[in-house]
Structure 1
Amino acid sequence: MNMDQTRRNLLIGGSVLGACLIGGLLPTACAMRQIAMGPARPMGSLPKRPAGEAKPMLDEDIAPVLARLDAWYAAHLPRDRYILNPPATDAQIDIFEQVVGFRMPRSYRQLYKWHDGENDDRSGHIYGLPLLPLKQAEADWKAWIRTLAGFGGNRYPVPGGAWPEGAVDPAYFNPRWVPLTSDGSGGHIGLDFAPWPRGRAGQVILFGRDEDVKVVLAESLGGFLDWVAGLLESGNFRLKAASGEVVLRQFRLKEPPSDHFHEGARKLRGAPGQFL
């Protein structure tokens, strides 16, 4: 039976992405090759933005949830494998703000004055995903800016989606998205400072190279961390693989069973899959 052209393009695109990952190419090169294989969105074909304004950013004190995470990590994670960096300084956060071109919320400063992320891309504290150090967050953000420049500034070179609809820009990338974690394959949990009218400024979203449908995970950084802490405290985690079980990350969700937190988070939130 002949497969339809859309399915064929997706399969070819997946092969290209795998080759890009193995070759260590930047997201720009991979994305442009993927787009060359399939139908692109013309410059004038833009998604319809709902009327209205997004809800304002929440002013949060996240010290209590950071204390909860500290307590859980100390009780459950091996300290020789799960190592967070020392705190960032105000000056380092100031420099990061200058790079991205806008001020970060108080909660972001609290997070990075708690720890400047971590350096292990497999033993990460967010269900195996690492909290990015500021320098790496900057490097990843710049790589996405180069990707956008490669498309002539067009944020919509391929069709995209959003969940909930109208809450987040269905772009391939928006310059006001700041990576918070990385899965090592161009996928991120990040902060959204350009929400659409049914969203909230500072909301936490899934975006990235293989994330066609952008998903809102929480209304704020504090809300996201509270959700993660609640999952951990409820026992929804696994830290070891069974005999003969091959997993990408040992620290992962128990329910729904998932080797990648992005996939499990979508299911927990009731969101659609990553591809259109």
Structure 2
Amino acid sequence: MKEIWERFEAWIDRYANLLLDDLNGGAEEEHFEPIEKAIRSELPQAFKEFYRIHDGQYSESEEGLIDTHILLPLEQMLSIWAQLRHQFDEGAFDDLESEPQEGIRMEWWNPYWLPLTTDKAGSFIFMDFAPSRQGNLGQIIYMPRDSAERILLAPSFEAWINRYVRHLEEGHYRYSERMGGIIQKQRLNGVSDDSQHSFWHDSENDDLEGFEVLKEE
């Protein structure tokens, strides 16, 4: 994970250096324990190694490191999880439809889904500790706002963050203050949020143009 962060920070420093100031210091071992207790699961080693270097972004950050999503610090992960858990226990999600991809349980939200990122508008990326039989423990899933879709992004945290950093280096993202941080070039070119998740897979994206610095108006 050290090498991943070195590459991630090198890209940020070159193309979005103001965001370097948004990074928290590293998490301590005791910071993971409340989360593991809440979700009754052991966090993956790769996740812990990643967060020991930087504990996400400042909680008040307005610009996202992960395609306009804020990379949540551990404390905020737990806070959002607790809010969702309260709503879950109150039955707020009982009548809501879910359209999960294979490997994800057919639920609107599950108490074993840990929020990793948010766009602060209702979309989240979760680490899933309660997959279906076809899924993988600790897989990464996307919950778009105002949608029943539950989309499988990667089989593990390590696979997901490795792919994201590689896509940065391959030139598929820009920094845009106007759009709220680091964002896919195809979204800047008019592709809707509805197709956002498709880019997070290793799919049909090798033919995208290289990186160009976005000129703000």
The bucket for the TM-score relative to the shorter chain is: 0.7 to 0.9
Between 257-266 and 124-133, the greater mean CA deviation after superposition? 257-266
**2:174 aligns with one of 238, 253, 264:** 238
Q: Compared with structure 1, are the counterparts of its residues 129 and 105 closer, same or farther at alpha carbon in structure 2 (3 Å cutoff)?
A: same
2:51 matched to 1:115?
no
Q: Compared with structure 1, are the counterparts of its residues 258 and 157 closer, same or farther at alpha carbon in structure 2 (3 Å cutoff)?
A: farther
Instruction: Kindly state the Cα deviation for residue 231 of structure 1 after the two structures are TM-superposed.
Output: 1.3
Tell me the equivalent position of 1:254: 185
Q: Any gaps of 5 or more consecutive residues in structure 2?
A: 204-217
Tell me the equivalent position of 2:5: 66
* Partner Cα distance (1:118, 1:260) in 2: 27
Deviation readout 1:184-243 (Å, 9 max, x if unpaired): 1232111001111221111100126524110011111111111111211111122247xx
- 1:125 partner amino acid: L
Tell me the equivalent position of 2:66: 126
Instruction: Kindly state the Cα deviation for residue 71 of structure 1 after the two structures are TM-superposed.
Output: 2.0
Mapped contact 1:180–1:190 kept (Cα < 8 A): yes
Give the match's secondary structure for 2:124: strand
2:217 matched to 1:217?
no
Mapped contact 1:82–1:124 kept (Cα < 8 A): no
Tell me the equivalent position of 1:175: 111
Give the match's secondary structure for 2:118: coil
Q: Compared with structure 1, are the counterparts of its residues 84 and 179 closer, same or farther at alpha carbon in structure 2 (3 Å cutoff)?
A: same
Q: Compared with structure 1, are the counterparts of its residues 89 and 260 closer, same or farther at alpha carbon in structure 2 (3 Å cutoff)?
A: farther
- 1:130 partner amino acid: I
Deviation readout 1:67-99 (Å, 9 max, x if unpaired): 321222222222367520011110111232223
* Partner Cα distance (2:193, 2:31) in 1: 29
* Partner Cα distance (1:133, 1:260) in 2: 29
Instruction: Give percent identity, aligned residues only.
Output: 23
2:138 matched to 1:202?
yes
Instruction: Kindly state the Cα deviation for residue 260 of structure 1 after the two structures are TM-superposed.
Output: 9.6
Mapped contact 2:13–2:20 kept (Cα < 8 A): no
Higher strand share: 2
Instruction: Kindly state the Cα deviation for residue 66 of structure 1 after the two structures are TM-superposed.
Output: 2.5
Q: Compared with structure 1, are the counterparts of its residues 258 and 162 closer, same or farther at alpha carbon in structure 2 (3 Å cutoff)?
A: farther
Tell me the equivalent position of 1:149: 89
* Partner Cα distance (2:179, 2:14) in 1: 23
Q: Which has the larger radius of gyration?
A: 1
**1:102 aligns with one of 16, 41, 59:** 41
Q: Any gaps of 5 or more consecutive residues in structure 1?
A: 1-61, 242-246, 271-276
User: Between Structure 1 and Structure 2, how many residues are aligned?
Assistant: 200
Mapped contact 2:114–2:126 kept (Cα < 8 A): yes
- 1:159 partner amino acid: E
Tell me the equivalent position of 1:44: none
Q: What TM-score comes out, normalization by structure 1 length?
A: 0.65
Mapped contact 2:47–2:158 kept (Cα < 8 A): no
Mapped contact 1:128–1:252 kept (Cα < 8 A): yes
* Partner Cα distance (2:97, 2:90) in 1: 17
Q: What TM-score comes out, normalization by structure 2 length?
A: 0.81
* Partner Cα distance (2:50, 2:85) in 1: 24
Instruction: Kindly state the Cα deviation for residue 250 of structure 1 after the two structures are TM-superposed.
Output: 4.3
Q: CA RMSD in A?
A: 2.5
* Partner Cα distance (1:127, 1:85) in 2: 18
